[in-house]
Amino acid sequence: MAIEMKLLGPGAAVAQLAPARSSRTASALVVRFDEHQRLQHALMMSTFIILALTGLPQKFSDLTVSRWWVDALGGLQVVRAIHRTAGLIMLSDCLYHLTYLVYRIGVQGQRGPLGMLPGPKDVRDVAQTICYFLGLVPEKPKFDRFSYLEKFDYWAVFWGIVMIGGSGLVLLFPLMAIRELPGQAIPLAITIHSDEAILAVGWILIVHMFNVHLAPRVFPFNPAIFTGKLTVHRCAEDHPLEWERISAGQVALASGVGVTRASRAPFSIGRSRAGRLSVAATRAIRLRYRDLRVRWSRGRDEP
């Protein structure tokens, strides 16, 4: 029997986390990413891989492996078409994410996404982490829903979209660009697009992959972004401040989360006994009503 923490709409009641036994808690799950977030990450990840596989061979075109790869994909024109299509999909994914944020914050009134904004605590956490590795303090900082590493990863994507995506649009529409921009914009865009791509690939392969999947605490793989869920143990270890609120039954509506149970019986943990009885009573009334209709129909058919 597992426990899930799910997103609730505005006005939803704040759920309470029922006391759990150790065996039950060990199998508990916390929903960290909703369907939209997982889809946005899937689009970003897939287009990033395609852009790397089609962009790097063009940058290092003098390498034998690059020429072989371009020929295997069908030639330079095909590679360029794939690269541009993937780039436009990535930019569309960025617009999708921005629209999602506007709806969550502006329409639903949920403040959870605002947790990605850097704050003074992040500066203190960075300093405490450095002091911890230097042996100056006894423990690491306690993170909330998002650590400073996750925030840096998140905002680095925006930087990459602006730099790589913006320069890519200039290269995709050069005639339109030179009408509004000076002539140096084209060679500058080539440099930015190329060098920023190397920086992005290096960051993802070295820093992001290690922090998310290869660090000793999560090795060999962290499936949270793909399943949307992580274990209670992992949540309590990586995000102790958030888990303290959840376990205390004080999940604020502003954080946009609640708690439900993912078991064979689809009942919420926060649902009261009266609520469960009302569901059973409703089902009983429906069955009784259907039985009366059957009897009434049979009575009409009798001579």
Exposure class string for 148-181: b at 16+ Cβ within 10 A, else e = bbbbbbeebbeebbebbbebbbbbeeeeebeeee
Q: Is the pTM of this model over 0.75?
A: no
Residue located via tokens 């020429």: 67
Annotated domain spans of the chain: 2-272, 273-303
pLDDT in tens, the chain (303 residues): 343 444 333 333 333 343 444 445 545 888 889 999 999 999 999 999 999 999 999 999 999 999 999 999 999 999 999 999 999 999 999 999 999 999 999 999 988 889 999 999 999 999 999 999 999 999 999 999 999 999 999 999 999 999 999 999 999 999 999 999 998 999 999 999 999 999 999 999 999 999 888 888 888 888 899 999 988 888 889 999 998 888 877 444 333 444 443 333 322 333 334 344 444 555 555 566 566 666 656 655 554
For residue 100, what pLDDT is reported? Answer: 96
Q: Please name the fold of domain 2-272.
A: Fumarate Reductase Cytochrome B subunit (1.20.950)
